[in-house]
Amino acid sequence: MPINIEWQAPEFEKYEKGKVWFVTAAIIALAIFTAALIMENFIFAFLIILAVFIIFIYALKEPRIVNFKIDSHGITIDKKLYTYQEIISFWIFYDPPHLKELTIKSKKFIAPLIKIPLADQDPVEIRQTLLKFIKEEKEEESLADIFARYLRF
């Protein structure tokens, strides 16, 4: 029986951020910026300005819709195929409604962990399919991911 699981999902979960979120972020950034100036750490002060700029742009960004596919060749994200030979292991984080994500650990040095939103896909079916090709290895959710979700970023 041929394997072909396809779906689309936003590249990341977009949380609505109101004025309070932006004002709070700006106040925190201003406090850190002021502390950097007081300590005469001008490079750090510049990095804070740069970070705030990037965070605000990213906070306003709309996620694009990405195509995902699992078949007998590997996992395809848009047009990029990750063959099973390139993948070390996988893990499914499933705690609806907040967390529904497939994580694959690749052999690539630059992007070793790839996170794939599952949207409305059946995690059991995906798990059973992937177990035919690669091993399942428990991953812990990173502190950065937990923190970002807590901040609704």
Token pair for 97: 């409604």
What pLDDT does 1 receive? 63
- Return the CATH fold of 4-11+66-150: PH-domain like (2.30.29)
Using pLDDT thresholds of 50, 70 and 90, give the confidence band for residue 153.
low
- Reply yes or no on whether the pLDDT at 149 is more than 80: no
Q: What is the pLDDT of residues 98-110, one digit of tens each?
A: 789 999 999 887 8
Q: What is the pLDDT of residues 54-113, one digit of tens each?
A: 989 988 899 999 999 999 999 999 999 999 999 999 999 998 777 899 999 998 878 788
Where does the chain show beta strands of DSSP type E? 4-10, 65-71, 74-77, 80-83, 87-95, 99-106, 113-117, 135-136
Query: Which of 21-25, 28-32, 87-91, 142-146 has the least mean pLDDT?
Result: 142-146
What pLDDT does 147 receive? 78
* Omega prior to 117 cis, within 30 of 0: no
How many angstroms separate the CA atoms of 147 and 7, rounded?
28
What pLDDT does 45 receive? 95
Predicted TM-score (pTM) of this structure: 0.77
- Structural domain spans, the chain: 4-11+66-150, 19-60
How many angstroms separate the CA atoms of 72 and 64, rounded?
26
What pLDDT does 143 receive? 86
Torsion angles phi and psi, residue 109, rounded to 5: -75, -40
SS3 for 94?
strand
Token pair for 93: 């984080």
* Omega prior to 10 cis, within 30 of 0: no
What pLDDT does 150 receive? 76
Top-confidence residue, 1 or 25? 25
